[in-house]
Amino acid sequence: MTLNYEAAVLQRSGTPLAIERVSAAALQPTDVLVSVRAAGLCHTDLEVIEGSLRYPMPIVLGHEAAGIVADTGGAVTRVRKGDHVILSWNPHCGHCFYCDRGLPILCEDYLAKGPRAVQFDGQSKARLADGRELKHLMFLGAFGEYCIVADQQAIPVPKEIPFDRACLIGCGVMTGVGAAFNLARVSRADCVMIIGCGAVGLSAVQGARLAGAAGIIACDIDDGKLALAQTMGATSCVNAAKEDAAALAKKQTSGRGADIVIEAAGSAVAFRTSVEAVRPGGEVVWLGKIDVAADVAFRWGALMQEKRIRRSSYGDARPARDFPLLARAYLDGRLMLDELITERIRLAAINEGFAALKSGRAIRSVITFH
């Protein structure tokens, strides 16, 4: 029997998402059918809507989600019907050149199939009522009542964590916390600057706090977000619209600069500030992004003196390891997730949710189902 459900479909960039009735494909042996219970609205989705990220269409967006396993293919052993899961958007083969080197984010299968907006087996898992094949953003397409994913993408987590908070772990929280823990490996002696206090940046603030950083400088142009950063662990704040962030970092470190700078704003100005604010021999992690065809210019002297710069998309995530740990950190009161949610909306209000994200009014709008 064919499963029909509602999903938000983007027919072409620059137009609103439309709520449409779609049909799920038959499950393949390693497929997992997930009843989506919550999905966060992320800037990456907005970039596809606006056309700065280019994908084939029609497409179902959404890549930050949590739900319940509704059914599985016959070969699935990792999860069972009824499990509560957070979804990962980085499936990987486990045996290609990059996977063998511990870089699943560069998996050759992942990189080859991602631009085609299919699922990890190369297939579409849903169709419109008129029979047209639907594409899926980042191997998920979670802005719908259901989605079908590869079994490795459905990560079981404790049932005690609410879905609207669990979903945030699947992208923004993992990326930010992972930048501090997995990539920068923040230590107790470090002064860390985080540029940009949206969902990812605030998660990086928390990652630095959990790692025991000696100082955490939050940088943004919104005083409200800076105040929230302080509640999450920032020891000082700088409004970059009013003060020189790099100068403040040096002032607080005897003129050296921050040991680690994590950029999560996604602007040319923020990228330049990150390399100006880090000390000689320090480390910069870029999490934000701009249009893939855009140029960014730097003062050459700011790139010298043995500084290390790394770009990361997912905080060096190992979802099967990291998602349950982050869920437990929330349940233990060590990781703040409630405060990241600006509003909870229904699927029908998704366009208003993206308007709030674009304007900066929302840190995270979360769609809740059922």
Is 281's pLDDT higher than 90?
yes
**Count of CB atoms situated within 10 Å of the CB of 231:** 11
* Cβ atoms of residues 98 and 107 within 8 Å: yes
pTM (two decimals): 0.95
Spatial separation of the C-alpha atoms in residues 137 and 15, rounded to whole Å: 17
223-231 and 199-210 helices, crossing angle to 10°: 30
Q: Per-residue pLDDT tens for 119-178?
A: 999 999 999 999 999 999 999 999 999 999 999 999 999 999 999 999 999 999 999 999
Banded pLDDT at 240 (limits 50, 70, 90): very high
Q: How many CA atoms lie within 13 A of 138 on its CB side?
A: 23
Q: Per-residue pLDDT tens for 191-205?
A: 999 999 999 999 999
* Cβ atoms of residues 52 and 97 within 8 Å: no
350-359 and 43-50 helices, crossing angle to 10°: 100
Q: 3-state DSSP call for residue 182?
A: helix
What are φ and ψ of residue 250, in 5° steps? -70, -35
Spatial separation of the C-alpha atoms in residues 307 and 358, rounded to whole Å: 33
Spatial separation of the C-alpha atoms in residues 166 and 326, rounded to whole Å: 9
With b for 16 or more beta-carbon neighbours within 10 A and e for fewer, the 90-110 pattern comes to bbbeeebebbeeeebbbbebb
* 40-58 mean pLDDT: 94
Query: What type of residue is 302?
Result: A
| Largest distance between two CA atoms of the chain | 68
Which H or E run contains 305? none
Show the tokens assigned to 114: 């991602």
CATH number of 173-311: 3.40.50.720
CATH value of 4-156+337-368 in 3.90.180.10, 3.30.565.10, 3.30.70.100, 3.40.50.150: 3.90.180.10
Is 370's pLDDT higher than 80?
no
Q: Kindly report, as residue ranges, where domains of CATH 3.90.180.10 are found in the chain.
A: 4-156+337-368
Nearest to 92 by CA among 75, 109, 114: 109
Placement of tokens 């259901």 in the chain:
146
Q: Kindly report, as residue ranges, where domains of CATH 3.40.50.720 are found in the chain.
A: 173-311
Banded pLDDT at 291 (limits 50, 70, 90): confident
From residue 307, how far is each of 161, 258, 280 by CA, in Å? 40, 11, 6
- The residue count of the chain comes to 370
Banded pLDDT at 292 (limits 50, 70, 90): confident
Radius of gyration of the chain (CA): 20
Spatial separation of the C-alpha atoms in residues 27 and 11, rounded to whole Å: 25
